[in-house]
């Protein structure tokens, strides 16, 4: 059995179930090397602006070890947030056949790249960057040249979707070294809780004070500029929808601005950050989920919503838009930053409530093909490819 070392920043609620899946199917022997302990200990999240730890198991069912992080300000919000002097020696001690990196733009990862013998033990990379928001000028040119050089360290790259595939090709990665490993979540956890979540959502709707005969538009995530929650608030006010409420779930730097602009307006509600065990209920309360981000790498919130059979609206700068959103079939796509276009999309979605429900069922069918099994197939194909070289 081939041995794979996986190097990633910290335990993440989307990746941990995949690692568990990889360990259980028996096609690979894996060990995950974590560079930070966020998520399993209560710490402040920069985006949410509050301390928490995830309330689902992130370290069960697979082999892992933490690599000591000596950064005085640990985290993934800056380059020096991951400084792990023993990373290379710990990975070497595992004696893997290949190493998979889940990110690279941190001090520790660059040190590994520059000191690793890629001829003896090849490196793989799985990323989700895209160019849906293209940057021009001399800085963009220099950045392209630099990233192209970085990707030459990798024997193969795993792409999560169409926009990410184009990003890799733009930076010189041959299509022969690209393998599809789609972004996925624990679909089973969400789908098996759908019925219970629906009942919980009825009670929660009453607790929030939302009228039971109102449809609900949901924004769930960090209240930050990149995710553009204020665009959604303004679009909702423009759309003037009958019997529809808007619910913001989360926290972040824009919370005060959002609440200030919503003050005195009808049918706009707020709920605090919801931990992972409550996310099925969070989506179950919604009749439509909106992600208006300006530069979202993928948007796994959309995967989660679609598992609960929810129709979706996303901006064209959301990485999953080309893969998961089929306009007029399970949702709509609008131009990022265009509040009027988003308002028009909201009006179109609620012009036919029956079609909106059908969009939700289509969402469920689409997301059924974005699974850990599909992600694993791409990974194993890439490993077979690079070890035959």
Model confidence pLDDT, tens digit, residues 63-118: 999 999 999 999 999 999 999 999 999 999 999 999 999 999 999 999 999 999 99
Does residue 332 share a domain with residue 281?
yes
Average pLDDT over residues 1-23: 96
Per-residue confidence at 16, pLDDT binned at 50, 70, 90?
very high
Same domain, 20 and 119: yes
Examine the domain organization and report whether 56 and 172 are in the same domain: yes
Same domain, 166 and 215: no
Mean pLDDT of 252-275: 95
Q: Is residue 147 very low, low, confident or very high in pLDDT (cuts 50, 70, 90)?
A: very high
Q: How many CA atoms lie within 13 A of 337 on its CB side?
A: 7
Number of folded domains that form the chain: 2
For residue range 159-168, list pLDDT tens digits in order: 999 999 999 9
**DSSP per residue over 32-82, as a string?**
EEES--BTTB-EEETTTTEEE--SS-SSSSSEEEEPP---SS-SSSSGGG-
Question: What pLDDT score does 337 carry?
Answer: 96
Mapping DSSP to helix (H, G, I), strand (E, B) and coil, where does residue 329 land?
A: coil
Domain span at residue 125 reads: 2-186+370-387
Q: How far apart are CA 313 and CA 348, in angstroms?
A: 11
Cα–chain-centroid distance for residue 232? 20
CA-based nearest residue to 375, from 124, 190, 119, 1: 124
Coil/strand/helix, residue 342: helix
**Within this chain, do residues 117 and 146 fall inside the same structural domain, yes or no?**
yes
Name the token pair of 106: 């941190």
Q: State the DSSP H helix or E strand holding residue 312, giving kind and residue range, or none if neither.
A: strand 312-315
pLDDT at 133: 84
Beta bridge partners of 190: none
The closest of 108, 80, 78 to 8, measured between CA atoms, is 108
pLDDT band at 49 (very low <50, low <70, confident <90, very high): low
Same domain, 137 and 236: no
Closest to 336 in 3D by CA, of 161, 133, 140, 165: 133
pLDDT surpassing 90 at residue 40: no
Would you state the structure tokens that stand for residue 264, as one six-digit string? 């005195």
- Mean pLDDT is lowest, of 50-59, 100-109, 127-136, 345-354, for 50-59
Same domain as 247, residue 148 = no
CA distances from 3 to 94, 98, 310 (A): 9, 7, 39
The domain that holds 82 is classified in CATH as 3.40.50.2000
**48 — pLDDT class (breaks 50, 70, 90):** low
Nearest to 364 by CA among 294, 310, 292: 310
């Amino acid at each position: 059995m081939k041995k794979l070392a996986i190097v990633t920043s910290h335990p993440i609620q989307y990746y941990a179930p995949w690692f568990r899946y990889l360990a259980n199917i028996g096609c690979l022997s894996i060990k995950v090397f974590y560079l930070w302990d966020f998520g399993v200990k209560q710490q402040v999240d920069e985006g949410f602006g509050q301390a928490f730890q995830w309330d689902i198991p992130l370290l069960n069912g697979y082999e892992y070890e933490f690599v000591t992080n000596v950064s005085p300000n640990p985290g993934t919000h800056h380059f020096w947030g991951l400084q792990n002097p023993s990373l290379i020696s710990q990975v070497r001690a595992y004696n893997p056949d290949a190493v998979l990196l889940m990110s690279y733009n941190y001090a520790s990862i660059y040190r590994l790249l520059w000191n690793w013998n890629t001829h003896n033990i090849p490196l793989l990379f799985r990323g989700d960057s895209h160019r849906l928001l293209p940057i021009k000028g001399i800085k963009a040119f220099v950045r392209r040249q630099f990233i192209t050089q970085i990707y030459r360290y990798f024997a193969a790259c795993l792409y999560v979707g169409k926009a990410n595939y184009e990003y890799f090709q733009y930076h010189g990665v041959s299509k022969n070294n690209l393998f599809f490993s789609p972004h996925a979540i624990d679909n089973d956890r969400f789908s098996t809780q759908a019925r219970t979540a629906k009942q919980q959502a009825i009670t929660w709707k009453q607790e929030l004070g939302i009228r039971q005969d109102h449809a609900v538009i949901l924004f769930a995530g960090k209240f930050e500029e990149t995710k553009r929650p204020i665009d959604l608030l303004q679009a909702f006010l423009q759309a003037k929808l009958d019997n529809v409420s808007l619910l913001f779930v989360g926290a972040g730097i824009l919370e005060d601005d959002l609440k200030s602009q919503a003050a005195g307006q009808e049918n706009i509600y707020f709920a605090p950050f919801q931990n992972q065990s409550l996310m099925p209920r969070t989506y179950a309360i919604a009749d439509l989920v909106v992600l208006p981000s300006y530069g979202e790498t993928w948007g796994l919130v959309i995967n989660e919503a679609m598992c609960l059979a929810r129709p979706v609206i996303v901006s064209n700068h959301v990485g999953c838009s080309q893969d998961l959103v089929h306009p007029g079939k399970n949702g709509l796509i609008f131009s990022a930053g265009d509040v009027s276009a988003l308002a028009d999309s909201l009006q179109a979605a609620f012009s036919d409530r029956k079609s909106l429900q059908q969009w939700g069922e289509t969402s469920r069918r689409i997301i059924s093909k974005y699974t850990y099994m599909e992600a694993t197939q791409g990974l194993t194909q890439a490993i077979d490819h690079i070890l035959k070289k």
